[in-house]
């Protein structure tokens, strides 16, 4: 893979370095002063819009999902080492699935960063008892080593956790985590809105050193809200800079209006509607005109629980779960769109992937897995149709990999809650195809993006946080 630092990522790091020019990394006592000096700068066009300063030792970076925040904070580690001689770092992530993703990102960017800085980061992943030895003997004891410890919040959120216990290898009575604290490490928090539990905060605050929060979403609580901002790349900025594409909406509704009621109560009604093929939400209250949702000259007369009464005598109700007919229609549209894009991308050496969020695991893994069965039938039908066309030889060969030796369709797999354990346990067992596929989705994204792998339709449930 080829990596290239983007201008906005460079601006982010430059802002952070500007803040820390006169920062005392030993005492961590002057962050407020450093932030105020930075906010008073008049020669920067990349100052963040929000300039409230908190009493905490955080520096916040708001970066929209998909803009490369992982790459940015890995780059930041090298810059802090180069410019300020900082060696020890901790990365906190909320889920094991994200930890696995970080592990892969570090591996993929290793050569890029070595070319840039002539250094490697020695990385330690805390995954339980088996990983404590390396943390003690190397991360803690090699104080001059540029190293990063990656762990989930659950590693320190209980007094009984391994890191909060003493260990005979340490030659002192302090816990492993207390020895880590003594290193004065700089911390990075990924997805801060998911790392806000009191148990975690209680132990995290023992670090009493500088930490960076990278995320698209931040906690709403007053004590943990967005503050000490170094850089802001919010959704609107991302859109205006063409860093993300507009969403193209294909409506599978039989009504064809695209207007639907998401929820309603006495306080107001939330409508979802299409505006130039972009799906948007709007809150309307009793007496409001409905022109904004395409119902000109009509107003809301009354609102009840999940029901809205309009002045033209129409009643709009919150739609119930999709029918099997509607699900089938959505699957067909998605498969058609996939094939529409796939050949074009294939010729550019880009693999097309499609992701489905489904209501229940049983719809894919159950005894009567309607969604899985329907997908397979629809895919096979569409594939048969596609193969009748005049296709490039290489793409036709690619489609021959859709089935395994036993004739099973191999283009789709699900990833659901609990699958992380299954992948860790059984991924090396090639007889367990399901586990191998899950490991592919969760851990080996480079292989997933390869044309040698036929898997390109992924199913998950809408509520899965890793989704």
Q: Does residue 449 contact residue 351 with C-beta atoms inside 8 Å? A: yes
How many Cα neighbours within 13 Å face the side chain of 348? 8
Residue pair 116/71 in contact (Cβ under 8 Å)? The answer is no
Picking from 387, 377, 279, 362, the residue whose alpha carbon sits closest to that of residue 328 is 377
Same domain, 147 and 280: no
In a domain, 249, yes or no: no
Could you state, in chain order, the average pLDDT of each consecutive group of 10 residues for the chain (467 residues)?
A: 82 95 96 94 72 93 90 97 97 87 90 94 91 92 95 88 87 90 96 85 93 92 91 81 70 61 88 74 91 88 90 83 85 95 94 90 88 96 96 95 92 79 51 72 82 93 59
- Residue 267 in any domain: the answer is yes
pLDDT at 29: 94
What is the CATH number for 215? 3.40.50.300
Residues 272 and 235 in one domain: no
Closest CA to 31 of 206, 179, 209, 237: 209
Query: How far apart, in whole angstroms, are the C-alpha atoms of residue 258 and residue 256?
Result: 6
Say yes or no: 397 and 302 in one domain.
no
Distance CA(236)–CA(64), nearest Å, equals 9
**Structural element, H or E, at residue 379:** helix 370-387
- Per the structure, the count of domains in the chain is 3
Nearest to 356 by CA among 441, 258, 461: 461
Both tokens assigned to 381: 């039908």
Residue 191's φ and ψ, nearest 5 degrees, are 60, 65
Q: Within a domain: residue 86?
A: yes
Is the domain of 66 the same as that of 190?
yes
What is each CA distance from 403 to 152, 346, 377, 460, in whole angstroms? 38, 19, 14, 22
Structural domain contains residue 91: yes
Q: Which of 281, 283, 290, 282 has the alpha carbon at shortest distance from 309?
A: 290
Q: Are residue 281 and residue 333 in the same domain, yes or no?
A: no
Number of CB atoms found within 10 A of residue 281's CB: 9
* 198 & 337 share domain: no
Residues 54 and 92 in one domain: yes
- State the residue range of the domain holding 288: 260-317
Q: Are residues 88 and 135 in the same domain?
A: yes
The residue among 278, 299, 317 that closes a domain is: 317
68 and 205 assigned to the same domain:
yes
301 and 350 both lie in a single domain: no
Q: Check residue 176 and give its pLDDT.
A: 94
312 and 339 fall within a common domain? no
> Is 329 among the domain residues?
yes
For 80, residues 6+ apart whose C-beta sits below 8 A from its C-beta are 20, 86, 89, 186
Q: Return the SS3 of 335.
A: helix
In a domain, 357, yes or no: yes
Instruction: Evaluate whether residue 253 is within a structural domain.
Output: no
Please tell me the predicted confidence (pLDDT) of residue 300: 93
Q: Do residues 235 and 265 share a domain?
A: no
Q: Considering the domain boundaries, does residue 251 fall inside one? A: no
Q: Which of 185, 207, 240 is a domain's end point? A: 240
What's the confidence (pLDDT) of residue 398?
95
> H helices of 217-316, where?
235-240
Point out the domain boundary residue: 187, 212, 240. Answer: 240
State both tokens at 397.
């060969």
């Amino acid at each position: 893979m080829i990596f290239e630092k983007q201008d906005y990522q460079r601006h982010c790091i430059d802002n952070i370095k500007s803040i820390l020019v006169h920062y005392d990394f030993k005492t961590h006592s002057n962050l407020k002063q450093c932030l105020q000096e930075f906010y008073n700068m008049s020669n920067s066009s990349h100052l963040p819009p929000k300039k409230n300063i908190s009493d905490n030792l955080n520096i916040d970076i708001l970066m929209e999902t998909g803009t490369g925040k992982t790459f940015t904070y890995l780059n930041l580690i090298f810059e802090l080492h180069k410019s300020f001689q900082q060696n020890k770092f901790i990365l906190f992530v909320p889920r094991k699935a994200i930890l696995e993703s970080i592990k892969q990102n570090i591996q993929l960017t290793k050569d890029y960063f070595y070319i840039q800085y002539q250094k490697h980061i020695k990385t330690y992943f805390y995954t339980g008892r088996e990983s404590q030895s390396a943390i003690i003997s190397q991360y803690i004891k090699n104080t001059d080593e540029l190293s990063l410890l990656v762990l989930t919040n659950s590693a320190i959120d209980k007094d009984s956790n391994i890191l909060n216990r003493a260990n005979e290898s340490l030659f002192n009575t302090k816990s492993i985590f207390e020895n880590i604290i003594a290193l004065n490490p700089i911390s990075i928090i990924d997805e801060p809105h998911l790392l806000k539990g009191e148990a975690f905060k209680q132990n995290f605050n023992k670090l009493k050193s500088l930490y960076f929060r990278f995320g698209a979403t931040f906690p709403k609580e007053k004590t943990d809200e967005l503050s000490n901002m170094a850089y802001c790349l919010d959704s609107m900025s991302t859109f205006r800079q063409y860093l993300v594409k507009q969403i193209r909406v294909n409506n599978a509704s039989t009504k064809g209006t695209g207007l639907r009621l998401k929820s309603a109560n006495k306080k107001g009604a939330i409508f979802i509607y299409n505006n130039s093929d972009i799906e948007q939400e709007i809150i309307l209250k009793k007496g409001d005109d409905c022109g904004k949702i395409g119902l000109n000259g009509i107003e809301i007369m009354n609102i009840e629980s999940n029901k809205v009464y309009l002045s033209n005598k129409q009643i709009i109700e919150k739609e119930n779960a999709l029918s099997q007919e509607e699900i089938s229609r959505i699957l067909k549209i998605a498969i058609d769109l996939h094939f529409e894009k796939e050949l074009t991308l294939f010729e550019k050496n880009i693999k097309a992937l499609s992701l489905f969020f489904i209501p229940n695991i049983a719809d894919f893994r159950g005894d009567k897995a309607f969604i899985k069965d329907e997908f397979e039938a629809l895919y096979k039908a569409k594939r048969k149709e596609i193969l009748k066309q005049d296709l490039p030889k290489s793409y036709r060969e690619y489609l021959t990999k859709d089935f395994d030796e036993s004739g099973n369709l191999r283009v789709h797999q699900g990833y659901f809650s609990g699958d992380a354990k299954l992948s860790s346990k059984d991924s090396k067992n090639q007889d367990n195809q399901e586990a191998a596929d899950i490991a592919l989705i969760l851990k080996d994204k480079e292989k997933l993006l390869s044309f040698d792998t036929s898997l390109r339709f992924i199913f998950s449930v809408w509520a899965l946080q890793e989704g």
